[in-house]
Chain A
Amino acid sequence: MARLEILDPTVEARKQPLTYVARPDSLQGKRIGLVENTKFNSDRLLLKIGEILKQDYGAAETRMWRKHNAGVPAHKEILDEARGTVDVVVAGIGD
């Protein structure tokens, strides 16, 4: 027979639905948003990706935003502007 009980110190993360919008069939003529995370050279990397998307995939234009820092999601102004001005967004994180 058990002589003592101990309590679980851990928790499960709160469940939240995550849904993805449908990916476009083609980038032809699409406006590309680039979300830069402030890490060194991330702007140059994204601009290069943007150039490839224009030259090789027919994207119409690119526009870049800069997050407050790498540790937070894109802030409201970025999301609001992106909704009205671009069709696709490229973002990422890395060192």
Chain B
Amino acid sequence: MPPMTTELASKRFAVDDLTQAMDLCFEKGWTDGLPVVPPTEARVQAMLDAVALAPDKEIAFITNRQVGVTAEKVAINAVMAGCKPEYMPVVVAAVEGIADPRWGYHGPATSTGGAGVLMIINGPIGRRLDFNSGDNLFGPGWRANATVGRALRLVMRNVIGTLPGQLDRGTLGHPGKYTYVIAENEAESPWIPLHVERGLSKEDSAVTVMAAEGPHQFYNQLSSTAKGVLTTLCDDMRISGNTTSQPNYVVVIAGEHMQVIAADKWTKADIRTFVFEHTQNSIAHLKRTERMAGAIVADDEAARRPIVAAPEDILVVAAGGRAGAFSAYIPGWASRRTSEAVTKLINDRRA
């Protein structure tokens, strides 16, 4: 390998002031439609210093695009997104996640299905950097959530060429394509954190990336049992995504529902098993509702089609506000053959 350099290699553009810099970024087509922070050398260098990476360090290579994603380009886009330098390790790990062959970049980034990149933050870094895991979970107001997801989307746009209407052909897309970052509420959760279930230790920090539809909120303001709350969830969730072969779902259990389910001593594994078993559709129903081709035959009423291949494909996350009897589910994109959720360790140098 050639030796790494410390010089920033990107082309430079001279401007008179910050306003002109922001306008230039719009004119060049470098933004997501919102103004960006002008990426000056000092700001970009601070990003690189936060991860101790040389600018020409290749963080990922996207085979379908024949594009190498260097630390310098990630840093520039993280600056533009409004990240603090200390967020940079999270952005780097997320880039590694979407470049992982299991995530399968070309499909979810390009598809008419319009997936966003859901990022779930776990471990100490979530609390240290103030990633929101509570009230208004998917909404605005937290710099870390707002800018880390935005940075990843700007990398996809500016470095990997995922431009709407060109190599991003989402028919509808969704607002999560601006940013789509949540943290698990490990402090109040009665359950094993997601990253620990996926093989890391509690002291590790991690980001899980999943190609995802928007969040679907469901109501249950009636039940005081785990079975009751999850029965409502399953009734909502059964007909979602493409109903036949999602690679993953995320189920986000918020405060009141979390308390109800925990009081019944249900674990995440119990939740997964129940949801897997109670979200299956009959083949006859899928045919009657034009989701599957073919005439209904005798066995179709009894034959069941699960919405994921196995209970383990349902990722359960404790997050959301303490008040309100609402939780959410999020269908993954396409099928297990094409993209699956990937969990990456965050190289949290301060941990």
Contacts and interface: CB of A to CB of B under 8 A. Distances in A.
Q: Do A and B come from one complex?
A: yes
Interface of A: 2-11, 13-14, 16, 38, 68-73, 95
Contact of B14 (A5, A16, A70, A95): A5
B66 A8 contact: no
B153 interface: no
Contacts of A5: 12-15, 40-41
B158 A71 contact: no
Nearest to A71: B107
A71 B8 CA distance: 33
A72 B106 contact: yes
Nearest to B29: A10
Given A2-B14, A71-B338, 6 more contacts: A5-B14, A6-B40, A7-B40, A7-B76, A9-B159, A11-B159
B269 interface: no
B338 A14 contact: no
Interface of chain B, main secondary structure: mixed
Contacts of A14: 66-68
A38 B337 contact: yes
B16 interface: yes
B335 A13 contact: no
Given A8-B11, A71-B106, A13 B17 contact: no
Interface residues of B, number: 47
B10 interface: yes
A72 B110 CA distance: 12
Interface of chain A, main secondary structure: loop
7 contacts: A7-B10, A7-B41, A8-B10, A9-B77, A11-B159, A69-B338, A73-B64
B216 interface: no
B247 to A, nearest CB: 11
B195 interface: no
Given A11-B73, A72-B104, A3 B17 contact: yes
Contact of B104 (A3, A7, A71, A95): A71
Given A5-B13, A70-B107, A95-B112, A10 B44 contact: no
B173 interface: no
Given A4-B15, A4-B38, A71-B106, A9 B30 contact: yes
A69 B10 contact: no
Contacts of A9: 10, 30, 39, 73, 76-77, 80, 154, 158-159
Contacts of A4: 14-15, 17-18, 21, 38, 40
B11 A7 contact: yes
Interface in B10-68: 10-18, 21, 24-25, 28, 30, 38-41, 44, 64-68
A6 B21 contact: yes
B13 A69 contact: no
A13 B159 CA distance: 9
Contact of B335 (A7, A69, A95): A69
B113 to A, nearest CB: 10
A88 to B, nearest CB: 24
Contacts of B15: 2-6
Contacts of A16: 66
Given A16-B66, A69-B335, A10 B8 contact: no
B42 to A, nearest CB: 10
B321 interface: no
A84 to B, nearest CB: 25
Given A11-B159, A69-B335, A70-B338, A6 B107 contact: no
Q: What are the nearest 10 A-B pairs in CB distance?
A: A71-B107, A2-B14, A8-B11, A7-B10, A9-B158, A69-B338, A69-B337, A9-B76, A14-B66, A71-B106
Interface in B152-175: 154, 158-159, 161
B159 to A, nearest CB: 5
Nearest to B22: A6
Contacts of B80: 9
Contacts of A11: 67-68, 70, 73, 158-159
Pick the most buried of A7, A69, A70: most chain B CB atoms within 10 A of its CB.
A7
